Amino acid sequence: MKILLAIDDSRSSQAALHVVASEFQPKRNEIRVLHVVEQISAYLTASMVPHLVDQAARIEKDRQEQAKRMVQHAALGLRKAGFRTSEAVETGDPKEKILDHAEKWRADLIVLGSHGWKGFNRFLLGSVSEAVSRHAKCSVQIVRAPLGRKQAKAGRSSR
């Protein structure tokens, strides 16, 4: 089976990586680790933050390098567990790039984490996992990071 593991630097992505490593058999599955870098221009315009215009190219380069290191690190861990892996870093809208990459690579399954955003953050930033699950042409597994002790207590006390 071909599994596309879409990651970022979140706890939910770490949980998705753990799920892939622990729930799938290495000899039967090929994993492609993908990270999508959103361009800074998706957030800013020159009129909003003019002093960043000159630095944008350097910032973009740094973000690409960080993404490559993150993907390499995740793929290395999977290789050590016996998986056949490949790595990909793309630039653009994460929702679109994950869906496009899965289709071109002919993934059987997409695994990704969910940040669990609600309310205004979800409205403002959108839900990548929701969009991928609605529009993917293959199966999708969404992984949530386990709640930390403080989060679990806060959730219980608000009920």
Task: Please check whether residue 42 is in contact with residue 92, taking contact to mean a CB–CB distance below 8 angstroms.
Answer: no
CA dihedral for 126, 130, 132, 136, sign (positive or negative): negative
Q: Which two tokens stand for residue 15?
A: 């949980």
Residue 33: Cβ within 10 Å count: 26
On whether the pTM is more than 0.85, the answer is no
DSSP for residue 142: E
How do the pLDDT tens digits run along the chain, 159 residues long? 999 999 999 899 999 999 999 999 999 999 999 999 987 764 555 555 556 666 777 888 899 999 999 999 999 999 999 999 999 999 999 999 999 999 999 999 999 998 755 544 444 445 898 899 999 999 999 998 876 544 444 444 444
Of 7, 133, 142, 131, residue with least CA distance to 78: 7
> So what's the pLDDT on residue 54?
67
Q: Where are the alpha helices (DSSP H) in 24-148?
A: 56-80, 94-105, 119-125, 128-135
User: Phi and psi (nearest 5°) for 45?
Assistant: -125, 160
End-to-end CA distance of the chain: 42
